[in-house]
Structure 1
Amino acid sequence: MPALPLPRPHRDDVIIAASGLLGGLVLWLLNLYMRTGYVLADTRLPLIPLVVMAAAELLRRTSPRTALTIGTVALLAEQCTHGNLATVAMYTDIVYAAVLYGTPAAARRIPVAAFLFSLAVTAGSLVWLRSPEALLIGIVTALVVFVPALTGVSVRYHRDAAETARLRADQTALLAEMDRAQAVTAERARMARELHDLVANHLSAIAIHSTAALSIGDPETSRTALGVIRENSVEGLAEMRRLIGLLRTGTGDPEPSSSPTLGSLDALIEQHRAAAAAGGLTCVLEDSRTGSEPLPAPVELAAYRIAQESLTNALKHAAPGPVVVRLGRAAETLTVEVTSALGDRPGPRAPGSGAGLVGMRERVALLGGTFAAGPRDGIWRVRADLPVSGTRKTG
């Protein structure tokens, strides 16, 4: 199996290695050595550790452990020659780089090993020389080995802290963008529900009665249908203007101050009673609540919209018969129930999109209640249980 090639040196490492090699050559040409006694006499020998150390510098960032191993061997060999200050200086940089660019385990172990090595050299020098010069040897050893490692630890800590702060800032920005997107989506859904609830029932009545006016030749029936059409078109226009005014003011209120309440159900029932008479429908309100304790505005609005949408659906789909809106309250729950006869309704009807049931279900879910709609025993039943206290959101 062929050996894997060494990674390409970083550009800065090449510059550092070239600078160190060039500096060492200048010192060698000027005969500036570090020691004279107890060394090999050939003055060319210091060039070997110098070149090896410069080669190790090329690996300081891409392979810091290999660079430290090669550099340590070169420094030990350099002790047997006259020595070159550039070789020692490059070794300090290799120790620093091994801590800064090495693995987390290496960053923890190298400073400890360097400290213990400095203590061992100091103690050995004291035992061997028994003079103050031994302390100087220990200090120089610490400057060459331990201080660069300590500096690497400090720089690595600050670098990791800066990276952590950057990642945290990116995460905060991402969360803020997600919150903004969710807020926009929620607002669009709320606007869609409002538009549907404000306009759909009026347009449905207009569609049904305009179809009746066109298909039935009785002048009195056409006059009645046109009256209903005018009434619903005027009310729908007023509702649209109110919603547009709310959007233009941009007050940020969850619901407009003039939102309908359960006190307006009588007028709503009367309006649908006139519109449904031609189809054989009778609209009735049954309110079994006791007491006059006020309800939270979101609950009142949701209950009103559910009743309004259910009446609109009955106007479009219910068979002739009673349409009953029931209000009840048990403990901390308000119940809204609308029933109508199930079957094929004769005469004109308005098309449905299915968005009404979705909107009602969303309104109930936002308040933390329960919702059910479907046929049972020949009756179409819509029921919503809305918690009066502990409302989660307005909608």
Structure 2
Amino acid sequence: MRGARPHRDDVLIAAGGLAVGLLLWSLGLYTTGPKDQRPLSAPWLVPVPLAVMAALELVRRSRPRFALAAGTVAVVLDTLTRGNLATVILYADLVYAAVVYGPPATARRLPVFMGMLSIALTVGYLAWYRDAPALLAGLVTALVTFVPAISGAVVRNHREAADAARLRAEQTALLAEMDRVQAVAAERARMARELHDVVAGHLSAIAIHATAALSLDDERTTREAMGVVRENSVAGLAEMRRLIGLLRDGGEPAEPSAVPTLAGLEALVRQAGVNGAAGGLVFALEGGPVAGVRLPAPVELAAYRIVQESLTNALKHAVPGAVTVSLTASGRALEVRVDSPCGERPGPRAPGSGAGLIGMRERVALLDGVFEAGPVAGDGAGASKVWRVRAELPVAEEDGEPAA
């Protein structure tokens, strides 16, 4: 938005033009010869259009169309006097300013209008005077009207192109910052899921067996519980060291660690059986890894983590009974299902926060899959309700073809 106060450059142009015009007037230098008699040939009338034109320079940015219209009247008045070169030059600047600072419609139409006006006046001069100097008068008219308009159009186009480029650069920077923020948030969410999935199971087993060891006055049971506690503590520390190594920026490069795959499900279920034996839980793997099928690494990792988190939740919340893990590859999807008995648990129970379900749901959503978790009726005769975790992980047709 343009301010009400004149721009500093406009003030300098107005003051400079007025000073030069008055100097020319004081020296008796006019644009007409001494024998050229104009309707307003009195010398004292020459500074009047000059002063008007200098005043209009102060509003050449804030009110360019008004300045041009009033300046046109002033320059016509100047042609009726003996004329001042500074007045004509100031009018040319008003034409330039009208194109640069005026509305887009004015910027488009004014150069065309000034060009047609120059041609029309040149033809009129030739028809009236019928000699070569008429062409010179037409050239002067074009220099005062058409040339400033074309120059203003060029400057305005360059400014608009620069503004558009700056706007694109700002939008690109904004999009890059949004992408960076989203990438950081996604990476933090991924790290949170990994940390929860690899450590929560060990800590839950530690909490359950430590509670059992403290509540049961039996040396053999206590030793078995403390053995499980030690085993999970060592495994949890190893997982923590692995994660810290992945997050460390400096220092020696850590040894590469293998990404969990479905081939490790048997060991995972077997470890869950050891951890859940004290609570009367029996774990079984049905189907196992999908033999002969090449699965994408993200699908294998998501399936492994879903089973891992489901087993952890079973250790914390399931009542004594059988926990079954099954994997089925059908069509273009890998189905992962974990069923665990649910109900009132008599023994110690580790607290839960719900972060595990959130993490599983996020993993499935990243692969555009389907995730379900909740109680359902048992499959066997006389079976009570079970807590079922079911996930369908899409597998692209080219990725799910049989391995060579």
The answer to whether residue 379 in structure 2 is matched with residue 380 in structure 1 is no
Shift of 1:376: 1.2
For residues 119-152 of structure 1, give each alpha carbon's deviation from its aligned partner in whole angstroms, at most 9, with x where no partner exists.
1100101111111111111110000000000000
Pair 1:279–1:212, CA change in 2 (3 A): same
For residues 188-216 of structure 1, give each alpha carbon's deviation from its aligned partner in whole angstroms, at most 9, with x where no partner exists.
00000000001000000000000110111
The 8 Å contact of residues 71 and 91 in structure 1, kept in 2 or not, is answered as: yes
Shift of 1:388: 1.9
CA RMSD of superposed structures (Å): 1.6
Q: Name the residue aligned to 2:287.
A: 287
Q: Name the residue aligned to 1:22.
A: 19
Shift of 1:38: 2.9
The 8 Å contact of residues 288 and 329 in structure 1, kept in 2 or not, is answered as: no
Q: Name the residue aligned to 1:238.
A: 238
Give the AA of the match of 1:23. Answer: V
DSSP 3-state at the match of 1:44: helix
For residues 221-244 of structure 1, give each alpha carbon's deviation from its aligned partner in whole angstroms, at most 9, with x where no partner exists.
111100110111111111111111
Q: Name the residue aligned to 2:10.
A: 13
Q: Name the residue aligned to 1:253.
A: none
TM-score when normalising by structure 1: 0.94
The 8 Å contact of residues 38 and 80 in structure 1, kept in 2 or not, is answered as: no
The 8 Å contact of residues 279 and 346 in structure 1, kept in 2 or not, is answered as: no
Q: Name the residue aligned to 1:343.
A: 343
Query: What is the aligned length?
Result: 382
Give the AA of the match of 1:380. Answer: W
Shift of 1:291: 3.7
DSSP 3-state at the match of 1:348: coil
Structure 2 Cα separation of the partners of residues 123 and 93 of structure 1? 25
DSSP 3-state at the match of 2:217: coil
Structure 2 Cα separation of the partners of residues 335 and 362 of structure 1? 16
Which stretch shifts more, 281-290 or 229-238? Answer: 281-290
Shift of 1:26: 0.4
DSSP 3-state at the match of 2:222: helix
Q: Name the residue aligned to 2:262.
A: 262
The 8 Å contact of residues 269 and 284 in structure 2, kept in 1 or not, is answered as: yes
The 8 Å contact of residues 333 and 395 in structure 2, kept in 1 or not, is answered as: yes
Q: Name the residue aligned to 1:331.
A: 331
Q: Name the residue aligned to 1:48.
A: 48
The 8 Å contact of residues 272 and 283 in structure 1, kept in 2 or not, is answered as: yes
Structure 1 Cα separation of the partners of residues 395 and 249 of structure 2? 29
The 8 Å contact of residues 60 and 94 in structure 1, kept in 2 or not, is answered as: yes
Structure 1 Cα separation of the partners of residues 326 and 98 of structure 2? 78
For residues 12-55 of structure 1, give each alpha carbon's deviation from its aligned partner in whole angstroms, at most 9, with x where no partner exists.
21111111101100000111111031313311111110011111
TM-score when normalising by structure 2: 0.92
Structure 1 Cα separation of the partners of residues 109 and 90 of structure 2? 21
Structure 2 Cα separation of the partners of residues 204 and 19 of structure 1? 86
The 8 Å contact of residues 368 and 391 in structure 1, kept in 2 or not, is answered as: no
Pair 1:52–1:290, CA change in 2 (3 A): closer
Pair 1:390–1:13, CA change in 2 (3 A): farther
DSSP 3-state at the match of 2:45: coil
The answer to whether residue 312 in structure 2 is matched with residue 312 in structure 1 is yes
DSSP 3-state at the match of 2:82: coil
Give the AA of the match of 1:352. Answer: G
Structure 2 Cα separation of the partners of residues 273 and 291 of structure 1? 23
DSSP 3-state at the match of 1:349: coil
The 8 Å contact of residues 265 and 289 in structure 2, kept in 1 or not, is answered as: no
Give the AA of the match of 2:8. Answer: R
The runs of at least 4 consecutive aligned structure 1 residues that moved more than 4 Å come to: none
The 8 Å contact of residues 263 and 289 in structure 2, kept in 1 or not, is answered as: no
DSSP 3-state at the match of 1:67: helix
DSSP 3-state at the match of 1:285: strand
Q: Percent identity?
A: 64
DSSP 3-state at the match of 2:285: strand
Q: Name the residue aligned to 1:32.
A: 29
Q: Name the residue aligned to 1:140.
A: 140
Q: Name the residue aligned to 1:3.
A: none
Give the AA of the match of 1:115. Answer: G
The 8 Å contact of residues 262 and 289 in structure 2, kept in 1 or not, is answered as: no
Give the AA of the match of 1:38. Answer: Q
Give the AA of the match of 1:103. Answer: P
The 8 Å contact of residues 41 and 80 in structure 2, kept in 1 or not, is answered as: no
For structure 2, the 5+ residue unaligned runs are 251-255, 378-384, 400-404
Pair 1:131–1:225, CA change in 2 (3 A): same
Shift of 1:319: 1.2
Structure 1 Cα separation of the partners of residues 282 and 37 of structure 2? 118
Q: Name the residue aligned to 1:78.
A: 78
The 8 Å contact of residues 332 and 397 in structure 2, kept in 1 or not, is answered as: no
Structure 1 Cα separation of the partners of residues 294 and 149 of structure 2? 72
Q: Name the residue aligned to 2:396.
A: 389
Pair 1:44–1:249, CA change in 2 (3 A): closer
Give the AA of the match of 2:134. Answer: A
The 8 Å contact of residues 332 and 387 in structure 1, kept in 2 or not, is answered as: yes
